[in-house]
Amino acid sequence: MPSAPASEISAARPLTQADLCWLTCPVCRGSLALTPSEPAGTAPQTIACTSCTRTYPVVDNLPILLADRATLPR
């Protein structure tokens, strides 16, 4: 019998807020919040730090939590 397909952990589903509970901002270690895309349900999404308000991109449903990829809203 072949082993079960490894489809449970894939980048093929949108991120949810639950995915962020174990992630923190790489700059300030603050908690992260998913920013809904407009219109709702469509990619791309971004992730915003609730402490320093930096915004991180999401590429192929993977959060890019790198300080030099963050954008600071003015």
Residue numbers at the binding site for Zn ion (CB under 5 A): 25, 27-28, 30, 49, 51-52
Other C-beta atoms closer than 10 Å to the C-beta of 18 total 8
Cα–Cα distance list, 34 to 12, 61, 72 (Å):
17, 12, 16
Q: Smallest gap, in angstroms, from Cβ of residue 61 to Zn ion?
A: 21
In the complex with Zn ion, the residue whose CB is nearer, 11 or 21, is: 21
Instruction: Pick the closer one to Zn ion by CB: 42 or 71.
Output: 71
- Please tell me the distance from the alpha carbon of residue 31 to that of residue 43, in angstroms, as a whole number: 22
Of residues 17 and 42, the one with the C-beta less far from Zn ion: 17
